[in-house]
Structure 1
Amino acid sequence: MFCQSLLQSLLFSPFLPLLLLSSPAATTAQKLEESTFKLKESAYNPYIATLSQLLPKASVLDVLASTNHDMVAEDVRAIGMNYKATRWENSASFNDFGTTSWYPQGISTSADAYDVGTYEGKHVTLVSWYDNRDVPNAENKGVRIAFVDRDKSPDAYRYVLLVEPYSNAGTVDFRAVKVHSGGIAWYGNSLYIVDTDKGFRVFDLTQIWKVETGDGIGRKNGGGFSAANYAYVLPQSRTYTSTSPSTPGWPVRFSFVSLDRTTTPDSLLVGEYQPASFTGPRRFIRWSIDYTNRQLTTDSAGVATATWAYQVNIDRMQGVNSVNGKFYISRSNGGSNGDLISWTPGNLAKIASGAVLEGPEDLSYDKTTGLMYTVTEAINGRYILPFDPTVLL
């Protein structure tokens, strides 16, 4: 259950193992030219209007009112840190904690959605999961979003399947969204999801639709719509696609994303996961976002140009947040605990080695409480973990 005193109840060791980061790359961290990183905005998806007339509409509150899975509060420990965590359901009939079929990736909260920290008065967390099954592409279900109600006791959640409206031989339909969903950012009624090799996909939270039961995704034989037996779908409304994929020499890898409400204007910050064997750059890139329409700031041609870019040369990054110019990074270490890293441009990064559980992913910051959140993906080790980033110095 959400509690304002959560920050005070978190236990942190004052002796975190902080180490100076030695860059694994041959070149040093450096500022990059922002104008080389551009995204082209698409029009609003034209098929949503028709589908919205055919399908019953639901709201975020409707989804939260119908939660069908419970989370479990659990104290977990890493090196130098204890977490008041929440664990995904692991029951005889449903096992998100240990499934190999789906993996959690991106995280964002109602503090991203609105500056007040709540959405329609509710404290909510959204987490993206991708279909990891070894099945033919046609059978892949794509991405589902867990809508977590943190005002319930215990925290409870329900899944909504992401879909892309399209024209199927002249008939309006929808299909699965088959991306890795490594990072998400919730802003107003827009949900931004990274598409690794392309840019962003955006989903319209005012257009959640209720669908019928059925194994298929899209139109059913004989009428109606289904979504792999999920009760709700969330449609893709627009895209932002990289227009300079080979500049400055390496395509941008949209591995994760976070919202920064401490910049003016607000901005989306993207980072790149790369293994140590990769010989190219590892970068952070920022684009401004317009609070009046929840879209990236573009020119008259619909092109969004980055406002900040930096090569950081940190391997295995999984998530990033920036708060008042300071950067917080999650890093995975295979089957071992992950690291939490803090960095200010112009300085060496500091590493809290092993300070987060195995498989840390995306990050999200709640400035109303001062807490940062990450989600872990390790099988039988899947948690939402809150922590105070100021302990990283």
Structure 2
Amino acid sequence: MLDNCGAVLARLASATLVAGLLLVPTTATAAAGPTTLPAGQYTLSANYHQFDTVNAALVSKLGTAAVHTVMENANHDRVGLPSSFSINGLETGFRFDSGDNSDCKNYPQGITTSRDAVGTANSGNYDGHQLVVVSWYTNDACDGDGERSRITLVDWDATYPNKYRKVLLVEPTGTAAAPNFKDIPIHAGGVSWYGDYLYVADTGRGMRVFDMRKILKTNTGGTADQIGRQSDTVYYAHNYAYVLPQIGTITSNTTSGTSLRWSSISLDRVSASIVMTEYTCQSGCTAYPNRAPRAIRYPFAAGTTTFAATTTASQALQLPWYKLNGLASHNNRWWFASSGQKQLYYWTPAAGSTTYPWVSGAESISYWEDTTNPDLLWTLQEGVGNRNVFAVQQSAYDG
């Protein structure tokens, strides 16, 4: 974790220079692969109706905004990748505006897209927009006014302006008569969009669930620290015009003896499942576990975009790699990104594993299916001043 804004900015010039100008090597090396764990030891308990009563009252008081309305009111401009940025297989990408790129209080973490949500149908458009979604968390050490989580909806379609909009994630509170909401102070290390549902990793719990059809309109004009109900008709949200309230919780359970640390998640559309992995250290860490990480696959209920009330994992792996901030799976192929090692590990049960050089500050991965062009891996870097959101051809990291 970065301790303060001054320290971040003091290191920014050299860090950005190295990460921005370095041509990442393309040499791959063989590596040890994962081993199988008992999948039956890992289960999920799903509740999609946890906040139904309060959410209905919030909708009645505030009203909802469809995704297309949010994007038509997008108020930030994304910019292109710097010309110095280069990595093997690079296809496309962008940066956030200068304020978000240099913000030492908020950090991008998870990534998903409307291709996750709807697949390749209608060119991957959800409610008329092809979108890249990034989750963020707040580090309160840099002149902060409270810890919170948010998402950024980024237009990725030539039909629309190169804009993005921030939406605050909130947890409903209060009663039907006096509904309210509060900040969600989680790391938001991974995010997956499937159908209308947005799944956000909650490190020690599992996942929180949101419904993209239920974005609420809030009042602006308050102070930066104001959150929730101010009166019967006025609700502030740190001056965010839109909030996305949690609808439920997916709770992680295990009989393995060691609880899972939900550091990152990714959607596998082929097998209709979410995969997760843990950020752990080999040794020497105080804020993270010192043990081998795991990757677990959880299938959705057949023919739906939701989990059953109880779900048993369909695959469980013990991994030989550490400091993993991202993963993806597609057609029985896996990718794991290590921010600590600056490596991307590719693995299949049949062919084994291969290690590729990767970027610094690597975070989550989302697989982008395409019917006419190469499939992509979308990912991002979290470092202040070096927040490249980019896509590489998956075939460049396909063993």
Which residue does 1:238 correspond to in 2? 248
Aligned partners of 2:185, 2:69: CA distance in 1, in Å? 25
How far apart in 1 are the matches of 2:328 and 2:396? 15
Q: CA RMSD in A?
A: 2.4
Deviation, 1:118, is 1.8
Change in 2 beyond 3 A, CA 1:311/1:58: same
User: Unaligned regions of 5+ residues in structure 1, if any?
Assistant: 1-12, 24-28
User: Any conservation in 1 of the 2:44–2:253 contact (CA below 8 Å)?
Assistant: yes
Where is the strand percentage greater, Structure 1 or Structure 2? 1
Are residues 1:261 and 2:285 paired?
Answer: no
Match of 1:39 in 2: 44
Aligned to 2:364: 362
**1:319-372 Cα deviation digits (max 9, x unpaired):** 1111211111211137xxx2222111265421112x33x211000011124111
Aligned-pair CA distance for 1:226: 1.0
Give the whole-Å Cα distance in 2 for the aligned partners of 1:261 and 1:104: 23
The verdict on how the C-alpha distance between 1:303 and 1:133 changes in structure 2, with shifts beyond 3 A counting, is: same
Q: Give the TM-score of the pair, scaled to structure 2.
A: 0.84
Question: Secondary structure of 1:226's partner?
Answer: strand
Is 1:317 the equivalent of 2:324?
yes
**TM superposition shift of 1:104:** 0.1
1:155 pairs with 2:162: yes
Contact in 2 for aligned 1:16/1:81 (Cα 8 Å): no
Structure 1 residue 281: deviation in Å? Answer: 2.8
Corresponding residue of 2:257:
249
Q: Which residue of 1 aligns with 2:178?
A: 171
2: CA distance between counterparts of 1:38 and 1:367?
28
Pairing of 1:171-250 with structure 2 (within 5 A): 171-213=178-220, 214-215=222-223, 216-221=226-231, 223-244=233-254, 247-250=255-258
Measure the CA separation in 1 of the matches of 2:260 and 2:24: 37
Structure 2 equivalent of residue 4 of structure 1: none
Maintained 8 Å contact 2:275/2:328: yes
User: Quick check: 321-330 or 78-87, which moved more?
Assistant: 78-87
2:96 to 76, 81, 88: 88
Given the alignment, which residue of 52, 59, 62 partners 2:59?
52
SS of equivalent residue, structure 2 residue 56: helix
More helix by share: 2
Mean Cα deviation higher: 342-351 or 55-64: 342-351
The verdict on how the C-alpha distance between 1:307 and 1:76 changes in structure 2, with shifts beyond 3 A counting, is: farther
> What is residue 10 of structure 1 aligned with on the other side?
none
Overall identity of the aligned pairs, in %: 33
Q: In the alignment, which residue of structure 2 is the partner of 1:108?
A: 112
- Residue 3 of structure 1 is matched in structure 2 by none
Aligned mate of 1:388, from 375, 387, 393: 393
Among candidates 133, 140, 151, match of residue 146 of structure 2: 140
Judged with a 3 Å threshold, the aligned counterparts in structure 2 of structure 1 residues 50 and 200 are, in CA distance, closer, same or farther, namely same
**Which AA in structure 2 matches 1:228?**
H
Equivalence for 1:5: none
Gapped regions of structure 2 (runs ≥ 5): 1-22, 284-288
**Contact 1:71–1:154 (CA under 8 A) maintained in structure 2:** no
